[in-house]
Amino acid sequence: MKREVLLFFSVLSLPAVLSQISYSIPEEMSKGSLVGNVAQDFGLDVKRLQAGKARIHTGDDAEYIQLNRERGLLTIKEKIDREALCKQETPCALHFQIALENPIEIISATVEITDINDNPPRFEKEERRFEISESAIVGSKFLLEKAADLDIGRNGLQSYTLQPNENFNLKVHGQSDGSKKAEMILQKPLDREKQEFMSLLLTAKDGGAPQRSGTMQIHITVLDVNDNAPVFSQAVYKAAVKENSMKGTLITKVSASDADKGSNGRISYVIGNSMADNSKLFHVTEDGHVLLNGKIDYEIAKMYEID
């Protein structure tokens, strides 16, 4: 463990001797861990600490640090969580005094608590869903959830990644409060007929060693636009019918499909022949059944074409 010690001494006109000392320790040290050797750092005999009834005076910070008068040591009384103690505030420090009697001597102590990488970046939700039209233009932006990291500095949130990223780029923006936000930018047109659903993984990473990360699943549903024409199962349908067939006789059935979805993919059939007589002789139902709708005469016409 690396400890930093700074000593400042001053003798005032008052009967008390005031001194200052500073230590720096990482958070999460176990109970009993050494903070600093007060006797050694001040050149005091431990008997002076005992005879002077050395004791710590502090407010809320008393629960974290304790003084061993027999050995002249400051040790951890309760494990310190820097994030719980100071949140994002820096520097994070404990302030207290060590007082001795006969003669009165006061040591003002500061213990800085440094951050360790004990928190990964976290998203508030495990997943996020988007519905994006396949007509969305390249360059369209979609704001993603921000991750939060309780650690600070390099141990805090540093970057985001998005995988796979065939259709989207990821852009990260730094905020005035030090946080980072991310947004997806469409870089390739979407095609619902090729891929209706996408699942991407957004990862937030810190800069600690070892590196910690958090993830969020991004689910994308590509919404349909009417960009596909119906396609018949065959280009030409041929059928034969007797001239004495009754009205309503089934001649053939046509079938078409549309790659679009919902109302955009719903198909209806009509006879579009420009010859009015033909359109009167035949009828097509909503489900593609072509029926005889009038009287046909072989002597008048041996073949009919309808569209």
Instruction: Read off the pLDDT of each residue in 70-77 and give the average, rounded to a whole number.
Output: 94
**pLDDT band with cut points at 50, 70 and 90 for residue 258:** confident
Query: pLDDT value at position 91?
Result: 94
Classify the C-alpha dihedral 162-166-167-169 as positive or negative. positive
Instruction: Read off the pLDDT of each residue in 164-189 and give the average, rounded to a whole number.
Output: 90
| Alpha-carbon gap, residue 280 to 273, rounded angstroms | 10
Q: Give alpha helix (H) positions in the chain.
A: 38-42, 46-51, 82-86, 276-281
Query: pLDDT value at position 276?
Result: 58
Query: pLDDT value at position 226?
Result: 76
Query: pLDDT value at position 154?
Result: 93
Residue 135: HSE in the Cβ half-sphere, 13 Å Cα cutoff: 6
Query: pLDDT value at position 144?
Result: 94
| Alpha-carbon gap, residue 307 to 254, rounded angstroms | 11
Instruction: Read off the pLDDT of each residue in 51-76 and give the average, rounded to a whole number.
Output: 86
Domains identified in the chain and CATH numbers: 6-114 (2.60.40.60), 122-223 (2.60.40.60), 231-292 (2.60.40.60)
| Alpha-carbon gap, residue 41 to 36, rounded angstroms | 8
| Alpha-carbon gap, residue 285 to 196, rounded angstroms | 31
Query: pLDDT value at position 153?
Result: 92
**What end-to-end distance do the CA atoms of the chain give, in Å?**
88
Instruction: Please name which of 206, 128, 125, 119 lies closest in space to residue 161, comparing C-alpha atoms.
Output: 206
Q: What is the pTM of this model?
A: 0.70
| Alpha-carbon gap, residue 136 to 189, rounded angstroms | 7
Three-class SS of residue 58?
A: coil
List phi, psi (to 5°) of 66: -135, 155
| Alpha-carbon gap, residue 24 to 18, rounded angstroms | 21
Residue 13 has pLDDT above 50, yes or no: no
DSSP one-letter string for 21-50: EEEEEETTPPTT-EEEEHHHHHT--HHHHH
| Alpha-carbon gap, residue 166 to 189, rounded angstroms | 10
| Alpha-carbon gap, residue 80 to 85, rounded angstroms | 8
Query: pLDDT value at position 7?
Result: 46
Could you give the angle at the alpha carbon of 119 between the alpha carbons of 114 and 120, nearest 5°? 135
